Each structure stands twice: as structure tokens, then as C-alpha cells.
Chains A and B, each alone.
Chain A
Amino acid sequence: MNPILNVRQLTMDFGGIRALARLDLTVNHGEIAALIGPNGAGKTTFFNCVTGLYVPTSGDVFIHATPEKSVRINGMKPHRVTRAGLSRTFQNIRLFKEMTALENVMIGRHCRTHAGIFGAFFRNRATRDEEQRIIHDSYRLLEIVGLEDQVNFRALNLPYGDQRKLEIARALAAEPRLLLLDEPAAGMNSQETRDLTSLILKIRDEFNIAILLIEHDMKLVMTLSERIFVMDYGRKIAEGTPEDIRTNPDVIRAYLGEDSHA
């Protein structure tokens, strides 16, 4: 096993409320894993802690971009986490709405490119070349998610499903080793969800990266995931293959409520 993300005893308190309680979680290279659980279980909080938007109360988060190199990222600023090889999408889409699809993806390239103020003002050769490469790479990513025809459309004019795909393309532009998707299928119809399933598989195979997704659509989760983590009340209550999870009594209880004897 070759872990890319290693989370140990992660705890997050908001005032007196414990949103995450001593969470352990490992995602391996090239793996598609899912994080599921009822609403309010702490899944998005987990993403926010891992990506540096929240500073966890205690615990450790490591990224192993390569087997030899491991970086402890808890408490690190979000932009440095992204640079360390982790990028994400958001549950409530956070695109740059006034910008075009292309520009959105180009922003994603920011942390892998270098042109500074000097380059901006004097537009030397290196800057021009880099700019062309950014445009080219960004266009390629839009092709992969199937948005090449909307390249010059403003993000706010795209239909909902396309906005989700654009967010994925933008996240990919940061060259992550692990891609975190927060409810990528929310608001999609069944045809769109099927397309998304194949897109996620395609991304994993083409870029050879790991994907961790939060999702409520069980069909998508069960089809895609190699491993599933189940959370409830900020704790991890189960972990395993889709088969294990389907039959786990704790999981059933969490989903159907304490009182039911299903």
C-alpha cells in the first residue's frame, strides 16, 4: 500500500461543538475513495481541515506526494496545501462567475506557473511562452471534461452540471496528486450522473491520481469507490469495500436513525 493522504486523530472543535473527533483516514495512490454519512456528519468540515481552510484543533495530516517525500499540512495556508498536491471542488459551486470557463481553468494553473510583475509589464519571451502554455493546457482540460464548446462562456451562464464539470477541470489544473470532490453529482439528473461517473474514472486513469469524494448518490458511490469511509457525528464509524459497507449494521443504523430496528 502506498498512501497519498494520511490523516491521524484529526479533531476539530467549533466553540463547544466537536465537529470531527479523532478521525483516522488513509487514501492510497491512484485510488477512488468515498466519504459518506448523513447530513451534518462532518464531511465538509473534514475537507476544510485537510485543505487548510480551517485549522484543526488537533491531529495530523500528511501528504505523500512521492513515496519518499511527506509533508505535514495541518495548519498550513490553503494555497500551500494546493501546492503540496491537493486540490478540491466545493459543495456550493465556487466558480469565478464573471470569468469565462477558460479563465477559470487558467486560474487553476496559477500555482504551477511563475510569471510575476516584471513578466506582466515587459512580456518577455518566457512570459509569452508560459501564457501560451497556460492557455493550451487549460483548453486541454476543458476538452477532457467536455466543455470545449463553452470555452469562452462566462461561468455564470453555464448550466448547473457544466459548472460542476468546470470546477473539476479547474481543480485538475492545479496538478493535484489527490483530488477532493465535494458532492460532485449534487443537482444532476441520472444521465448527467452517469456521465460524471465515467468522467471521474477517465480522470483517474488519465492523470493517475487519487480521488476522494463526498457524495450522497449511493449508486455513484458504490459504482466508483474502491473504498468507502462512513462518518456520523464527527466520528468514523466504518471503513471498507462497498460490499462491507452495504452490510455493516452501524452504517445502517446511522442512516436510518437510532430507533429503527431495520
Chain B
Amino acid sequence: MFHDKAGYFFELFIGGLTKGSIYALIALGYTMVYGIIELINFAHGEIYMIGAFTALITAAALTAFGVTHPLVLVSVSGITAVVYASAYGYTLEKVAYKPLRNAPRLSPLISAIGMSIFLQNFVLLAQTSNYIPFPNLIPPLPFLEPVSHIMGTVDFIILCTTAVIMILLTFLIRKTRIGTAMRATAQDKTMARLLGIDVDRIISFTFITGSALAAVGGVMVGSKMGQINFYIGFIAGIKAFTAAVLGGIGSIPGAVLGGLILGWTESFGTGYLTSDYEDVFAFSLLVLILIFKPSGLLGRNTTPKV
């Protein structure tokens, strides 16, 4: 048994870490898209919400057909969620952003807000406006029993999954051909095109990857919170975007760092101060950091080229 005070601290620490990991997963989608086409993909939160819904629906359908093995349930519904979220991300880009590649800067942003409203209402109409209970897909792991008051099974799974995904993503971007092409495109689209990189394909790929990560986040949030509705994407999206900016938008380690800092701020803020102002802590932190470090924690500080 921990000492009470220390135990509480660790509980908040792990809580913040879990929350932060999920913010980081969603923030990665924002930051990758921003890095490549300098667009705040406002509909990204909706992709995450759709990921969660798809997982829920798949799991329910499987259960109705009599599949109850937890491993099968988790993997099938998780994979379906990732596939669907990626498909939505891909289509979203083709429909709402690609035609606006050369438009004034604010136009794709408005189109993104439109898409966000559209997708929210699509889910609202097709499903329901109420919270739907999210099935408990993950059975408790016995070896976590002694520390369950600090770290539950779901927390553990979230942390492990996030860590694995981060490593895979770093590998993808640093070591693979397509990762190199992504970095090249992010730096200079015209030059990348001249070197024979299919920029449209890279952009699609970025949307697909980001959406897949968001779907993973969605499934995990569903499992942790136990319920979802059509509106969860909006709040999570804004928070994750905050995390991305906090870390320095366009920077992948920045998104992770931003997500974790945001998670801890909220967790400790609500734990030690007051729970009413959870979001105020998040946004105040953002405002403070940007005032002192205008391009985010790990963002590049560039001298204007004249």
C-alpha cells in the first residue's frame, strides 16, 4: 500500500499520463496534416469519434452473432475502427480539402468546420444523440490487481499501445521510403514534386495515418470512459489541437510532449485545485506557453526570410 498522499499523487500522475497519451494520439493527426499542408483539420476530432462508434458497432454486432472471445472482439473491432477511420480520413481530404489546394488560406478551414458539423450530424441522425454505453472490451489483467486503484487495466493497455504506436510512427517517418517522402513534402512541396514524389499520394497517406491514430485513440477513450456520443470528437479535437500547438505544430515529438503536458496539467489541476476548471487549466497553460514561446515548446523558431 502506498502512503495516502503519495498514492493520490501517483493516481493523478497515471491518470494524466493516460489522458495525455490519448491527446497525443489525436494531436499527431493534427500535427502531421499541418506539417504537410498547413491546414488545421478541424474534422479530425470527428474522425476520432467515428473510430469510436465503428468499434462500438462492430463489437455489438459481433456479440449479437455470438462472438464473445475478448481477444477476437478487441482485435476485430479495433481493426475495423482503424480501417473505417482511415477511409473517412482519405475521403474527407479528397472531398473537402483537395479542391481547395490553391484557395485562400481560410477557405479550407471553413470547409473543415463544415465537414465537422456534417459528420457530427450524420452520426447524430444515423445513430442517436444519447450517450451509448461502450462495451467493456478488455478483461482485467490479473497481475495489475495490486495496483488497480492507481492504474487500471485499461490505463495499462492505453500506455502500452501508445508507446508501441509512437515507436512505429517514428520508425515510419525516419526510416522508410514513404516517411522520407513525407518529410520532403513537408519541407518543400514544389521541390518534392520535381524530384518525382507523388505529393497527392503523400497527402492522402498522411490523412490515412493520422486518422488511424485517431481511431486508436477513440477506441481507447471509449473503453476508459465506458460511453460515447456524437459530440466527443469536438472537445477531444480542440484539446488535441491545443496539445499539438503547445508542443509546436508540425513537430511529431512536440505533439507527444504537448499531449502529455496537457494531460498532466488537467489531471493535477483538477486533483489538487478544483474540478470545475479542468478546461480552463488547459487553455491557460496554452496561452501562457505561447506568450513566452510563440512557436510552441519544440517548434522551430524561424527568423523571417526577407
Contacts and interface: CB of A to CB of B under 8 A. Distances in A.
Contact between chain A and chain B defined by CB under 8 Å: yes
Nearest to B305: A92
A208 B92 CA distance: 60
B102 interface: no
Interface string B291-306: 0000000000001101
Interface residues of A, number: 9
Contacts of B303: 14, 54
10 contacts: A14-B303, A44-B306, A48-B306, A53-B304, A53-B306, A54-B303, A90-B306, A91-B306, A92-B306, A94-B306
Contacts of B306: 44, 48, 53, 90-92, 94
A44 B306 CA distance: 8
Nearest to A182: B306
Interface residues of B, number: 3
- Nearest 4 pairs of A and B residues by beta carbon: A48-B306, A53-B306, A90-B306, A44-B306
A89 to B, nearest CB: 11
Interface string B274-306: 000000000000000000000000000001101
Interface of B: 303-304, 306
A92 B304 CA distance: 13
Contacts of A53: 304, 306
A44 B304 CA distance: 13
A111 to B, nearest CB: 19
A250 to B, nearest CB: 28
A92 B303 CA distance: 16
Contacts of B304: 53
Contacts of A14: 303
Nearest to A53: B306
Interface string A84-96: 0000001110100
B300 to A, nearest CB: 12
Interface in A71-97: 90-92, 94
Contacts of A92: 306
A50 B175 CA distance: 44
A54 B304 CA distance: 9
Nearest to A92: B306
A53 B305 CA distance: 10
B184 to A, nearest CB: 23
Interface in A32-72: 44, 48, 53-54
A94 B305 CA distance: 12
Contacts of A48: 306
A54 B302 CA distance: 12
A90 B306 CA distance: 7
A80 to B, nearest CB: 18
Nearest to A47: B306
Nearest to A45: B306
A258 B306 CA distance: 29
A64 B306 CA distance: 26
A32 to B, nearest CB: 23
A91 B306 CA distance: 8
A54 B303 CA distance: 8
Nearest to A15: B303
Given A48-B306, A53-B304, 6 more contacts: A14-B303, A54-B303, A90-B306, A91-B306, A92-B306, A94-B306
Interface string A5-31: 000000000100000000000000000
B120 to A, nearest CB: 35
Contacts of A94: 306
Nearest to B304: A53
A11 to B, nearest CB: 16
A14 B304 CA distance: 12
Interface in A110-137: none
A144 B12 CA distance: 71
B58 to A, nearest CB: 50
A44 B303 CA distance: 14
A225 B188 CA distance: 39
A168 to B, nearest CB: 17
A21 B306 CA distance: 20
A69 to B, nearest CB: 28
A92 B305 CA distance: 10
A139 to B, nearest CB: 29
Contacts of A44: 306
A53 B303 CA distance: 10
A51 to B, nearest CB: 9
B198 to A, nearest CB: 29
A71 B6 CA distance: 61
A92 B306 CA distance: 8
A212 B303 CA distance: 24
A36 to B, nearest CB: 19
A184 B304 CA distance: 21
